[in-house]
């Protein structure tokens, strides 16, 4: 067994890339699976950042330029898609004269808030689950899979559908 700590700096690169370390992590996430293929390993420094502003005048930030997330769970990519959809709809309306320029302020209000409240939170939870920092993760997944309401709530959260409702609340 390898010691699992909050800091990946505590592990050597060699240990972090080893089959034994992968086996330890997989045993936490999916107990009982002993045989699986590892197609590729790489080292990655997990970090998260959110820009102070998503808009300054005529300049807008979206996706990785606005928020960096750990890659676990695809929240950065999905968040970037949500950013692009939100912004392009507003830009088109302003461009065509269907909305005032002030409409563009809603982009930052909605997307930055959603990044902080939803994307960051889910990314951090995904990382903790895969680091085995949540010892009940496997049991929680089983309970979720067995309960249609829990399954729906989980999918609404990880697919970011719930964040669209929150964005609408922000105006």
What is the DSSP code (8-state) at residue 51? -
Residue 95 has a CB neighbour count (10 Å cut-off) of: 9
Residues 39 and 58 in one domain: no
Give the structural domain span for 11: 1-45
Number of domains within the chain? 2
pLDDT value for 9: 58
Residues 107 and 60 in one domain: yes
pLDDT value for 4: 52
Residues 26 and 69 in one domain: no
Residues 33 and 93 in one domain: no
> pLDDT of 68-117, one tens digit each?
887 777 788 888 999 999 999 999 999 999 999 999 999 999 999 999 99
- Ramachandran class of 101: left when φ > 0, alpha when ψ lies in -120 to 50, beta otherwise: alpha
Q: With 0-12 CB in 10 A as exposed, 13-18 as middle and 19+ as buried, what is 158? A: middle
**Domain containing residue 134: CATH number:** 3.50.50.60
How big is the chain by its Cα radius of gyration, in Å?
19
Residues 26 and 94 in one domain: no
Residues 60 and 144 in one domain: yes
Q: With 0-12 CB in 10 A as exposed, 13-18 as middle and 19+ as buried, what is 168? A: exposed
Residues 89 and 146 in one domain: yes
pLDDT at 29 over 80: no
Task: Answer whether 0.75 is exceeded by the pTM.
Answer: no
Residues 128 and 71 in one domain: yes
């Amino acid at each position: 067994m390898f010691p699992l700590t909050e800091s990946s700096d505590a592990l050597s690169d060699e240990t972090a890339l080893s089959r034994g370390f992968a086996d330890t992590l997989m045993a936490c996430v999916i107990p009982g699976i002993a045989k699986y293929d590892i197609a590729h390993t790489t080292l990655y420094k997990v970090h998260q950042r959110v820009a102070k502003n998503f808009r300054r005048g005529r300049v807008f930030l979206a996706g990785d330029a606005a928020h960096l997330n750990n890659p676990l769970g695809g929240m950065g990519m999905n968040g970037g898609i949500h950013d692009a959809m939100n912004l392009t709809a507003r830009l088109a309306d302003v461009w065509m004269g269907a909305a005032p320029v002030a409409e563009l302020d809603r982009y930052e209000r909605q997307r930055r808030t959603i990044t902080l409240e939803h994307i960051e939170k889910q990314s951090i939870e995904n990382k903790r689950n895969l680091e085995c920092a949540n010892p009940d993760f496997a049991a929680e997944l089983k309970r979720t899979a067995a309960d249609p309401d829990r399954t729906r709530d989980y999918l609404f959260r990880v697919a970011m559908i719930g964040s669209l409702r929150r964005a609408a609340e922000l105006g």
